[in-house]
């Protein structure tokens, strides 16, 4: 018997839908210029989930893949433009699902808290927004361990 989904999600127009058989391992708020511009806000929140847990239940053909850098590939719905995911080339076994694409009413279990804010500081274009003093770690780039994995994958 296959594991049962613990959450569902999809795009705004409903063409792209997915399920996950595991909850996210953590959430990350990315404040880089690309994420800010693509989200229309001060950061993008990604829910890290093992790729093997995701099942595209409809509209996978509507997912447009796009690389804005040499380190990751993103997807969005070609019909409505909803950002759906990002996968880092150094970590192909993990998919960062955009948190806003998750149907919150379908979650079975307790979600983890945000693990970190990344690309906080000069790189972040959202000078009009002040991050809350919430005790969540902040990094000027990626968190140190992940930064090392990216560097190793480039060499």
What is 113-147 written as a DSSP string? PEEEEES-STT---TT---------B-SSS-HHHH
Model confidence pLDDT, tens digit, residues 48-92: 999 999 999 999 999 999 999 999 999 999 999 999 999 999 999
Q: Which residue has the higher pLDDT, 148 or 1?
A: 148
Rounded CA gap, 105 and 16, in Å? 18
Tell me what pLDDT residue 147 has: 79
Q: Say if domain 7-154 classifies as CATH 3.90.1590.10.
A: yes
Question: Domain extents for the chain?
Answer: 7-154
Tell me what pLDDT residue 153 has: 74
- The mean pLDDT of the chain is 92
* Residue carrying the six token digits 């404040």: 31
């Amino acid at each position: 018997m296959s594991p049962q989904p613990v959450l569902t999600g999809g795009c705004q127009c409903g063409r792209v839908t997915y399920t996950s058989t595991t909850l996210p391992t953590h959430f990350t708020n990315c404040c880089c210029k690309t994420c800010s511009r693509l989200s229309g806000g001060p950061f993008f929140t990604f829910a890290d989930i093992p790729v093997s847990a995701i099942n595209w239940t409809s509209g996978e053909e509507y997912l447009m893949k796009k690389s804005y850098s040499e380190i990751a590939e993103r997807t969005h719905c070609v019909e409505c433009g909803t950002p759906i995911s990002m996968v880092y080339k150094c970590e192909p076994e993990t998919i960062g699902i955009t948190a806003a694409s998750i149907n919150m009413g379908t979650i079975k279990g307790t979600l983890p808290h945000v693990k970190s804010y990344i690309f906080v500081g000069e790189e972040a274009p959202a000078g009009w927004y002040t991050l809350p003093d919430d005790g969540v770690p902040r990094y000027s780039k990626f968190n140190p361990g992940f930064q090392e994995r990216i560097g190793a994958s480039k060499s």
